[in-house]
Amino acid sequence: MLNLEWFRTFKAIYETGNLSAAAQVLFISQPGVSLHLSSLETYTGYRLFDRETRKMVPTERGTILYNWIIEPVNRLMEAEQTFHRNSIVEKPTIRVGMGFETFEFTLEEHLAQLPFNLILRFGEYPQMVHDLDSGKLDLILTPQKGWQPNLEYTAFTTERLVLVCGSETDTGTFEQHVLGNDRTAIRQWLKEQVWYTTTADMEHLRSFWLSNFDSLPDVKPNYVVPYCCSILRCLRNGKGFAVMPDFLCRKEVAQGTVKLVWEGDPHVENTLHFGKRKKTIHAKEIRQLEQLLTRTWAG
């Protein structure tokens, strides 16, 4: 006999794109998901998905079946929730990956207003892309796009890398070198200064230096701290230099506790993207997050 639970499993696989993500959605084991799919394919007599590495691609028969069952299955799931005697409306949980500073700048103050649960994960961008593809994350903010065909990226803002220093730093000599566009003198002067950086963002210094001096950075950071916000607290009304994204130091520059010294020539900019799976059961919640982050960044 046909087990209607197979349709629920088929729907989850179709919408998430892989077996492990479907298992998480259904709160069952991955072997259980595989068994349901195998049983449904045996019953229908057709292969419903082509199996690829970490990805399930629906066949033509699979797409036809999905279009046939999606509305009745959704109605049955609504009925299940409505008529269950202990029925409660549970908030969906969205898992998001981004840099810690980006979270602090854009999302932290809005957490209590979100109509869904949120799990944040901070880490390296390549790992975030891998976790998104495997179903461990639902949305990432990243300057680095992956190659996985299951993922899609939407550009939403640009960050510019700038050179900043503490407000007590004497930059008169540096400004004269910049006016004269003496790159050798600029580079030599900067090498003699006190530098701050973070473990994760040495790439910022490297990109800025390579673009403006056509060489890898030959400065040795004096202080390596966990986050850019730590650098800003160290520089505030003090001395020293750092390269960081302009959006992170906008408030301190406006208040005068940190000075924007040089934007470089040419400018060094990174495009930030929203990354998500092409098929997801949380499209509505992800769209809300994207709109919130875009408004916050613009404001």
Q: What pLDDT is recorded for position 249?
A: 87
Cα–Cα distance measured from residue 178 to residue 186, given in angstroms and rounded to the nearest whole number:
7
Cα–Cα distance measured from residue 232 to residue 260, given in angstroms and rounded to the nearest whole number:
12
Q: What pLDDT is recorded for position 286?
A: 93
Q: What pLDDT is recorded for position 166?
A: 92
Burial of residue 255, with CB atoms counted within 10 A of its CB: 0-12 exposed, 13-18 middle, 19 or more buried: exposed
Name the stretches of the chain with pLDDT < 50: 87
pTM for the predicted model, two decimal places: 0.62
Q: What pLDDT is recorded for position 285?
A: 92
| Pairing mode, strands 241-245 and 151-166 | antiparallel
**Crossing angle of helices 228-235 and 246-255, rounded to 10°:** 20
Write the CATH number of the domain with boundaries 4-83: 1.10.10.10
Run of H or E including 156: strand 151-166
Cα–Cα distance measured from residue 177 to residue 13, given in angstroms and rounded to the nearest whole number:
61
Write the CATH number of the domain with boundaries 93-157+270-298: 3.40.190.10
* CATH superfamily for domain 158-269: Periplasmic binding protein-like II (3.40.190.10)
Smallest CA-to-CA distance from 165 within 222, 236, 240 is with: 240
pLDDT tens-place string over residues 63-86: 999 999 888 888 888 777 766 655
Return the residue matching tokens 């730590």: 230
Two structure tokens written together for 81: 């929730």
Q: What pLDDT is recorded for position 91?
A: 78
pLDDT tens-place string over residues 236-256: 878 999 998 888 888 899 999
Are 208 and 268 in contact by the 8 Å Cβ rule? The answer is: yes
Are 155 and 269 in contact by the 8 Å Cβ rule? The answer is: no
Q: What pLDDT is recorded for position 84?
A: 62
Q: What pLDDT is recorded for position 162?
A: 94
Q: What pLDDT is recorded for position 201?
A: 60
**Identical fold, 93-157+270-298 and 158-269:** yes
Q: What pLDDT is recorded for position 220?
A: 83
Cα–Cα distance measured from residue 162 to residue 158, given in angstroms and rounded to the nearest whole number:
13
Two structure tokens written together for 280: 């997801």
Break the chain into its structural domains and give their ranges: 4-83, 93-157+270-298, 158-269
